[in-house]
Structure 1
Amino acid sequence: MTGLTRRDILGGAAALALMPSAAVASSPDFRSLGLARPAFEIDPKLDLTDLDGTRHRIGDYRGKVLAVSFWATWCPPCRREMPALARLARELGRDDFAVLAVNVGDREDRIRAFLDEIDDDGLTVLMDTGKTMPGIWYLRGLPVTYILNGSAEVILAAVGDRVWDAPEMVTALKELNRR
């Protein structure tokens, strides 16, 4: 799915449908954090470069809980949550967790200019300049964040911005790694 515009991304039918799942609805209460199991199967594919030119694939993160957050510089909720994602990445550490911020459609200079305005220390920012990820990950709006378990299976999703570094969120995500 290439050539998507901002209007295409935002104008899909309904935003990503979410429903609770018994498997993830146990303690902690992920629904109270705005996280739920996607209502459909996602085969998480990712083959993108970061701002330094390093290629990242889902398989690179096996064994880790992975947050993959899709965003754009023109998206106010995305802009609000990016510093919290960076703080989350620092709080969780790199041993058992990873946070990837996948920019959808912006030029590298716009991404860098935005990142110069915020605290992005510790955040891995990937570029989807070809806008291929919305079709693969069923994006119908931004921001959307998926949480994958250590086996690279999508287990939770969030549509819209979240306070990712809130103590309850950090505790809940750490709990995923203990399962």
Structure 2
Amino acid sequence: MKRFLCLVVLGAVVALTACTKKETAKTQAPLQENSPAPAITVNSLNGKPLNLSDLKGKVVVLNFWATWCPPCREEIPSMMKLNSAMAGKPFQMVAVSIDEGGQPAIESFFKTSGFSLPAYTDPDNRAAKAYGITGVPETFVIDKNGILLKKVIGPMAWDSPDVLSYLEGLAK
């Protein structure tokens, strides 16, 4: 029994540290909910830049993730359902991969997994630094006026009725 408990604890520690990116630097001051979201630019998989400021008027779910992160892969199906449920509404999902392999790694992952998200890259880690991420997944909900409303650390069921209701309310 003691050995089993030790293995469970060890497994939990490994799982928690598996999705941590040591190079990711924190911002100078922690982000505060109900404050302006930091301005960032990320690149779509076809290389087109996306400025967060261009999304004013839309609710934004900004998610930092990686292909090698088990909790990230676990939450992708619910993010796909959320993205579908919010189609046609003033909403934009921005899934920023911190994979060092960039576009090829993400495209390969989507091809082999069957998953798809509006994916972006952050080649110089400026967006990750601006948001002070300490690991993945970390997600930020930004309202139509560019105000950071929520920070979620870890995976979440993004397609749950409560989450959908909350985001639909913000989108009205």
CA distance in 2, matches of 1:41, 1:76: 31
Name which of 14, 19, 22 aligns with 1:7.
22
Q: Residue in 1 aligned with 2:39?
A: 45
Q: CA deviation at 1:135?
A: 1.4
* Structure 2, unaligned runs of 5 or more: 1-19
Residue type at the aligned position of 2:62 = V
Q: CA deviation at 1:38?
A: 4.2
Name which of 60, 63, 68 aligns with 2:62.
68
CA distance in 1, matches of 2:46, 2:167: 28
- Secondary structure class of the residue paired with 1:53: coil
Name which of 114, 118, 123 aligns with 1:118.
114
Bigger helix fraction: 2
- Secondary structure class of the residue paired with 2:74: helix
Q: Residue in 2 aligned with 1:129?
A: 123
Q: Residue in 2 aligned with 1:97?
A: 91
Q: Residue in 2 aligned with 1:163?
A: 157
The number of residue pairs the alignment matches comes to: 148
Q: Is the 8 A contact 2:41 2:52 kept in 1?
A: yes
Q: CA deviation at 1:115?
A: 1.2
* Structure 1, unaligned runs of 5 or more: 18-36
Q: Residue in 1 aligned with 2:104?
A: 109
Q: Percent identity?
A: 25
Residue type at the aligned position of 2:110 = L
Output the aligned Cα RMSD.
2.3
- Secondary structure class of the residue paired with 1:142: coil
Q: Is the 8 A contact 2:36 2:146 kept in 1?
A: no
Rg comparison, structure with higher value? 2
CA distance in 2, matches of 1:118, 1:143: 19
CA distance in 2, matches of 1:48, 1:134: 10
